[in-house]
Structure 1
Amino acid sequence: MTRDVVKYYANCRAKLTATLGDGVSSVALTPDIWSGNAKEDYFSVVAHFINSDWQLEKRIIGLRLIDVSHSGENIAEHLLYVLEEYALADKVFAFTLDNASANSNTVERLTPGLSAYVGELFLHQHCACHIINLIVKCGLKRLKPYLEAFITAISFLNSSNQRIAAYKSYCISTGARPRKFGLDMKVRWNSTYLMLKHVIPYKSTFSVFLQTHYPRGQGDPIFLTETHWYVGEKILEFLELFYDSTVALSGVYYSTSPLILERYLGP
């Protein structure tokens, strides 16, 4: 099985090398670094190009372990190795990276040798989705107390299978469709949007369930007040615009640069 997998990989890589060599005049690259479950970092390179049939394609051309610091020098070295493997050094149309300083340093190091196709001016494209992420995370810091109330309430529900079953039974008894609520993740702001999107329609059932099950001392206020729900609805409206923009700009089989220009400059 090992030999068959290696043979299959070699054949696929040979076909991809032939495709990139003969029918492709330029490529746009998206390098990134991902962390695995074993706390190991992997350097990935995705190539976007138009094939000989005028179809837009996206292929992973590099996925390697990077066990050195994520400096501009090391990233540039790993990226250059991938480009030399597929003979793409003179076909690079643009790099799309996030706004980390190491990425800017990477492009500065590579630009002199990789700007033959398009020149130096537009070689580095900053990731619009990462910019949106920075904007939203900055805004959410001011709304943290209201979000923490929802996070605590959902954590209370999800911390016990008995509570989850009890809430499901209550929803059924009231004619509401039962569902589970996921928590947000600090590294993904769009998960905050999805958390609010799922829980706010269940305001009536969830509020009653919390009042009857969440332990409160005598005279303590209701955990999720009307103010919390009102602000939660407004936060949801605020995040929806950015969420829709992120989804649109995360497209794979269509060009996203014109969408950025349209949103900034207008139709």
Structure 2
Amino acid sequence: MYYAKERDHVKEELAKAPSLICLSSDNWNLEHTNDEYICITAHWIDKDWKLQKRIIRFRALFPPYNGLNIVDELVLCLSQWGIDKKIFSITLNNASYNDVMVSCLKNHFRANQAILCDGAFFQVRCCAHILNLIVKVGLELADDVVGKIQNGIKYIKKSGIRRKRFYDVASKSFHLNVTKKLLQDVCVRWNSTYLMLESSLYYKDVLDYWGQWDKDYQIFSLSNEEWRNVAILCKFLKVFYDVTCVFSGSNYPTANLYFRGFWKVHKVLVDTVKGPYSFFNSNG
């Protein structure tokens, strides 16, 4: 009953929205079962010029997980909410099935005379996803160093005794603030790799000390040159991290921010290519 009440309230809001409605859609795969889920969010500006957003669909998809199947799900969703004639654009990542889905969706809207400018501005590429692809390719050039840090941190954090001693050494011998933790990254989130590298630089002296007395850790120890490369890589990634944080904001519009963000990214890429750091160059 509560759901039905809230659903009707949101439906009324969507019907009264003075602006057209923008959609964002993303699919999520549950790794262990290979189940696929879709999440569709509606974004619009209300009469008080405030950004509104509501998740209007979150449900499991049935195979096959392709563009034709997804467009059927999307069209049904829009019809149920009564907004199939109020859509301006849809933001998606760069998965190949989305190109098929958008083509079918455009044809559907054209048939119903509900698409502006013949769909020229209908599909919006997800800027955060584009950044993600760029950084993943770049990180492959530093696989060896990043891998050492990943495995070294995993080794320290795997044992509660080792973890406690690590922070004791950091606090008592190196006088570091141990409320800032040594972070381990998550393979599907590159920004967590940046945060891991940043935290390892903070604990650099402790990690070097750890490698001197723990023989099992020595295979993960970094040379001075490798630490220098980590510092360079961290500075390089910070630009991407800051821009990703801006693009990922959920309480303000983000499409108006992409040009400035990508200009910063373009500049750092050009400066890096012209710079002296050979490990950034895949041919170096």
TM-score, length-scaled by structure 2: 0.85
Q: CA-to-partner distance for each residue in 1:204-236, whole Å, 9 max, x for gaps?
A: 1221022212337xxx88822112211111110
Query: Which amino acid letter does the alignment assign opposite residue 201 of structure 1?
Result: Y
Query: For residues 135 and 216 of structure 2, what CA distance do their matches in structure 1 show?
Result: 33
Contact residue 149 and residue 220 of structure 2 kept, 8 A:
no
Matched with 2:169 is 170
CA distance in 1, matches of 2:214, 2:154: 13
1:10 lines up with 2:4 in the alignment: yes
Aligned residue for 2:141?
142
Q: Which runs of no fewer than 5 residues in structure 1 stay unpaired?
A: 1-6
Distance 1:36 1:93, change over 3 A: same
Partner Cα separation in structure 2 for residue 158 and residue 136 of structure 1: 26
Partner of 1:194: 195
- 1:154 is aligned to 2:133: no
Using the TM superposition, name which of 141-150 and 34-43 deviates more: 34-43
Aligned to 1:34: 28
Distance 2:67 2:220 in 1: 51
Give the count of matched residue pairs. Answer: 257
What pairs with 1:50-199 in structure 2 (closer than 5 Å)? Answer: 50-114=45-109, 116-119=114-117, 120-174=119-173, 175-178=175-178, 179-199=180-200
SS in 1 for 2:243: helix
Inter-partner Cα distance in structure 1 for 2:128 and 2:106: 23
Of all paired residues, the percent bearing the same amino acid is 31
> Is 1:20 the equivalent of 2:14?
yes
In the alignment, is the contact (CA less than 8 A) between 1:92 and 1:114 conserved in 2? Answer: no
- Corresponding residue to 1:234 among 232, 235, 251: 232
Deviation at residue 243 of structure 1 after TM alignment: 0.6
One-letter code aligned to 1:260: Y
Unaligned runs of 5+ in 2: 265-284
Q: How far did 1:69 drift?
A: 2.1
What's 1:249 paired with? Answer: 247
- Checking the alignment, whether the CA contact within 8 Å between 2:171 and 2:177 is kept in structure 1 is yes
Q: For the Cα contact (< 8 Å) 1:46–1:58, is it kept in 2?
A: yes
Contact 2:170–2:203 (CA under 8 A) maintained in structure 1: no
Equivalent position amino acid for 1:63 in 2: F
Q: Kindly report which structure 2 residues correspond to 1:208-223, keeping only aligned pairs within 5 A, or say none.
A: 208-215=209-216, 223=221
**CA offset at residue 35 of structure 1?**
3.1
Describe the shift of the 1:182–1:201 C-alpha distance in structure 2 as closer, same or farther (beyond 3 A): closer
* Letter of the structure 2 residue corresponding to residue 167 of structure 1: F
Judging changes above 3 Å, is the alpha-carbon distance between structure 1 residues 82 and 52 closer, same or farther for their aligned structure 2 residues? same
Moved more, 10-19 or 107-116: 107-116
CA distance in structure 2 between the partners assigned to 1:262 and 1:89 by the alignment = 32
Give the TM-score normalised by structure 1.
0.90
Deviation per CA, 1:131-156: give whole Å up to 9, x if none. Answer: 10111111111110111111121111
Find the residue that maps to 2:203 and give its secondary structure. helix
Shift, 1:117, TM fit: 4.1
Q: d(CA) in 2 for partners of 1:140 and 1:222?
A: 18
Q: Per-residue deviation at 1:127?
A: 0.5
Distance 1:161 1:71 in 2: 45
SS in 2 for 1:49: strand
Separation in structure 1 between the aligned mates of residue 120 and residue 220 of structure 2, nearest angstrom: 57
- 1:225 alignment counterpart: 223
Look up the SS of the partner of 1:59 in the other structure. Answer: strand
Moved more, 137-146 or 255-264: 255-264
State the secondary structure of the residue aligned to 1:255.
coil
**CA contact under 8 A between 1:96 and 1:124: conserved in structure 2?**
yes
Query: What do the CA deviations read for 1:163-218 (whole angstroms, capped 9, x no partner)?
Result: 111112212212222254232222211111010111101111221022212337xx
* In 1: Cα distance, 2:74 partner to 2:48 partner: 27
Cα distance change of structure 1 residues 12 and 38 upon mapping to structure 2, 3 Å threshold: farther
1: CA distance, partners of 2:234 / 2:14: 44
